Amino acid sequence: MPMTVEELLDRARRRLVRVEPEQAARELAEGALLVDIRPSEQRAQGEIPGATVIDRNVLEWRLDPASRWRIPEVTSHDVRLIVICNEGYSSSLVAAELHELGLVNATDVIGGFGAWKAAGLPIELAANT
């Protein structure tokens, strides 16, 4: 029997040690890679300084250490990756999928960008807003 999206999300989150926005900000300052997967329309609400924006449709290729299209920051499967989306749903699914690629230190931000902003953490408005 197929899973529901809620069951899929629950299974993904059981694999992760998710982080609050404040912890994500601390880890970003210490060198973790914060990966913003929000589409441009959502990033127009604000961007996180220091975050790496990666479009969802190329995410696995950019973050797989074995991929010839990976970004330079991803040098091994041990890299700390923290995924953030708008509300913390898509990011959980993505972080669990990254575990499948061997990126065992991947996780996501509880509550996503909305929680980041509500916590008063730094954001920058996009240049065209």
Tell me the catalytic residues: 85
B/e letters for 51-64, b = 16+ CB within 10 Å, e = fewer, are bbebeeeebbebbb
- Whether the CB-CB separation of 74 and 33 falls below 8 Å is answered with yes
Phi, psi at 71, each rounded to 5°: -80, 150
